[in-house]
A and B are shown apart, each in its own frame.
Chain A
Amino acid sequence: MLEITINNKKLTVESGITILQAAKTAEIEIPTLCHLEGKTPLGACRVCLVEVEGTANLLASCATPVRNGMNIETNSQKVRHARKTVVELLLSEHKGNCQFCDRSDDCELRELAHKVGIRGERFVVNEEAPALDESTAALIRDSGKCIKCRRCITICNEVQQVGALFPQYRGYETEISPAFARELETVACVQCGQCAAVCPVGAIIEKDHIAGVWAALENPDKHVVVQTAPAIRAALGECFDYEPGTLVTGKMVTALRLLGFDGVFDTNFAADLTIIEEGTELLTRLKKALVDKEDVALPQFSSCSPGWINFTEYYYPDFLPNLSTCKSPQQMFGAVAKTYYAERMGIDPADIIVVSAMPCTAKKFEAERAEMNDSGYQDVDYVLTTRELGRMIQEAGIDFVNLEDDAMDSPLGLSSGAADIFANTGGVMEAALRTVWEIVTGSELPMENLHVKPIMGLEGVKEVAATITGAVPEWSFLEGVEVKLAVAHGLGNAKKLLEKIKAGEAEYHFVEIMTCPGGCIGGGGQPRFTTDAIRMARIGAIYKEDEGKELRKSHLNPEITKIYEDFLKKPLGEKSHHLLHTEYKQKELVM
């Protein structure tokens, strides 16, 4: 322990922590900008400057460890002046216009400038803003607004281990961008939007689908339906100042009706469908491997997360046969909406517009994949992020907090609790186990409250194994088999797991991967700013939603039974194969 003084306050703090962390323990706030909690400090922005007695220069508190006897001032005149100048310099490089900016409600730079008392422009640089990078389906990059804080580099390179963004050129010409300051589509970016989630300003944002959705809603000839991903009901409330972890499912449904959607449905329905298809696929693979002794790719990997699909296509093409052929729930929903639902309602699918509300930017990309048109039309037309949906509700003047609760429409609105937990890391695996276990043994998954504890929580890579006992005759070949499962979230963790499998150091039957840290509840399209504490709060809300339902297993969803009876016939059948499954192709890592 060390003795230090901050702003004349004597503190005893652990050694090895930074001045910033020490100040936090005493609830002394030091403004920061480039700093990302839990990540290696960059010291890039110098906003967090403090004065340390006996040191000539001001020091970046986020990157300076405390020393015994340190006497620190966080708010002296010298500090305040320097901090103001630092922010003024950032503003001089920043080509933006708050009135028109996507981030004007939650921009960290705008807030900081206000906080340090800047009310005018001190250094004026008259330069034209560079062109926007709109090359990808998911994101827009505006390097004119970039203040070179490098948070996106940390996320893309360290957390996701993609490395699409790095500083290019030097000095005044530096740009934080893909190779040679070209467009994002020229590098192997997976479009996860984690960079957009951490960017403090409007330099990386999602591609706007709001205008298209409004146009569809205003067109009387179109039947516009919306599907809502499980993760947004645990986060949308944050757009309306609810505490993170507040469930707003009912209000969300009412708001969507008020916006004018003709059908308010649940991606969860398609998640239940996914469990039936993906579970059957797993059992089929296991049978091929264990009984028919066929050469079949194991482990099977989950395929719900489009960033992860991109990652495999770019970086691990050898594992493409391991990916479940199941489309993601979003795409299954679109395909079913424009066939089964259209038939049932007697509506020409050409007149149906499917809108998704997703926690994800990569879902925008996924919806535009050329092969995602098995209904005969583009299966999903528009994808709104949680943030965009929040903005639409605001634009419509809807008083969200005072809305009544409402329930989703039939037939694509009913879902199990197993579908809810698709929103978080470990959830797809748990949902699959609830169903597969029961199919194989005829009895319920023998775990407390149906939860699979070892794969819950934010550990990067999680494992669990279970030995099957009491298999019913049809699945007797699984009797006594120890099923090995693994879960990873965040692509850096996925990479660790893949390398282990590749090296033969670990063997699994089924592996769940989600692109974003924490799973979809931490998606690149969620309200900013997502910390681990907020991830845990959202996950808590999701489990609450699951536990609050009578129906907690996908195969017991009566609407799922019905869609197989009336339409799909059987899992992995011809119709399922055509509408619900897809294939993957290797992509060039350097283009």
Chain B
Amino acid sequence: MSNIATDLRYEVSHPSPTVTSIIPIIDDIVQSFYNTEGALIPVLQSVQNLRGYLPEEALKYISLKLNIPFSEVTGVVTFYSYFSTVPRGEYIVRVCLGTACYVRGGKEVLSAFRDYLGINVGETTQDKLYSLEIGRCFGACGLAPVVMINDDVHQRVKPSKIKELLKSYQGESNE
């Protein structure tokens, strides 16, 4: 029973609006993984899917619910570049800097994105449209350099073509 109920230890001390609204959903997620070994990563993934990122308050709540030390939870979150603790844009641009992409111009592609979007790696544009991240090999090395935008893989990306590439997404979101 106690595992289903919202964790009171948390609610009493953290009445934070960013998280209170999703607490019941986190409870459901945790419930579905309850007592499974290695529940932490799938729980984190599901919660990140809800919000696009993992608010710190949510991590604290997950730590209490799963009875995993907070430092261990953040250890996992900060280990995988997949997880983010800050809000991200609608489109996540991940430039591969794996060995093949790196030698075939990945670095130039990255700096082109940086200049064009006016943000650094790990940041999000003001309009919350794009976030810029680095990837480590998407398994398409033959067609390097590779860029992923959300779930789409783009191959042989040229720095000169990134404006066009991004436009296709902006168009989509305006529709």
Contact = CB atoms under 8 A, between A and B. Distances in A.
Interface of A: 157, 162-170, 177-180, 187-188, 588-590
A590 B64 contact: yes
27 contacts: A157-B72, A163-B68, A163-B69, A164-B69, A164-B71, A166-B75, A167-B79, A168-B74, A168-B75, A168-B78, A169-B78, A170-B79, A177-B71, A178-B71, A179-B70, A179-B71, A179-B73, A179-B74, A179-B75, A180-B78, A187-B69, A187-B70, A188-B69, A589-B9, A589-B64, A590-B14, A590-B70
Contact of B72 (A166, A169, A177, A180): A166
Contacts of A165: 71
A169 B79 contact: yes
Interface on chain B toward A: helix, strand, loop, or mixed SS? Answer: helix
Residue with the greatest number of chain B CB neighbours at <10 A, chosen from A164, A165, A590: A590
A336 B65 CA distance: 44
Interface footprint category on B: 10 to 19
Nearest to B14: A590
A588 B13 contact: yes
Contacts of A178: 71
Contact of A167 (B63, B70, B75): B75
A168 B9 contact: no
Contacts of B79: 167, 169-170
B60 interface: yes
A246 B149 CA distance: 68
Contact of A590 (B60, B72, B75, B78): B60
A356 B112 CA distance: 63
A162 B70 CA distance: 10
B72 A163 contact: yes
Nearest to B68: A163
Contacts of A169: 78-79
B71 A168 contact: yes
A164 B149 CA distance: 36
A315 to B, nearest CB: 10
Interface of B: 9-10, 13-14, 60, 63-64, 68-75, 78-79
A180 B64 CA distance: 17
Contacts of B14: 590
A167 to B, nearest CB: 5
A170 B9 CA distance: 31
A89 to B, nearest CB: 21
The interface residues of chain A, by DSSP majority, are classed as loop
A180 B73 CA distance: 10
Contact of B69 (A166, A167, A180, A588): A166
5 A-B pairs closest in CB distance = A163-B69, A166-B75, A179-B74, A590-B60, A166-B71
Nearest to B85: A180
Given A164-B69, A590-B10, 14 more contacts: A163-B68, A167-B79, A168-B71, A168-B75, A170-B78, A170-B79, A178-B71, A179-B73, A180-B74, A187-B70, A588-B13, A589-B70, A590-B60, A590-B64
Contacts of A179: 70-71, 73-75
A179 B71 CA distance: 4
Contacts of B73: 179
Contacts of B72: 157, 163, 166
A318 to B, nearest CB: 11
Nearest to A586: B9
Given A162-B69, A163-B69, A164-B69, A590 B63 contact: yes
Contacts of A590: 10, 14, 60, 63-64, 70
A157 B73 CA distance: 13
Contacts of B60: 590
Contacts of A177: 71
Looking at B64, B71, B78, B79, the one whose CB has the most chain A CB atoms below 10 A away is B71
Nearest to A186: B70
A590 B10 CA distance: 8
Given A588-B13, A590-B64, A157 B75 contact: no
A589 B68 CA distance: 11
B85 to A, nearest CB: 8
Contacts of B68: 163
A178 B70 CA distance: 8
A501 B73 CA distance: 28
B146 to A, nearest CB: 21
A270 to B, nearest CB: 34
A133 to B, nearest CB: 13
A30 B69 CA distance: 35
B147 to A, nearest CB: 22
B126 to A, nearest CB: 25
A163 B69 CA distance: 5
A588 B14 CA distance: 10
A238 B72 CA distance: 36
A589 B14 CA distance: 11
Contacts of B63: 590
A591 to B, nearest CB: 8
B16 to A, nearest CB: 12
A414 to B, nearest CB: 44
A277 to B, nearest CB: 32
A157 B78 contact: no
Contacts of A157: 69, 72
Nearest to A173: B78
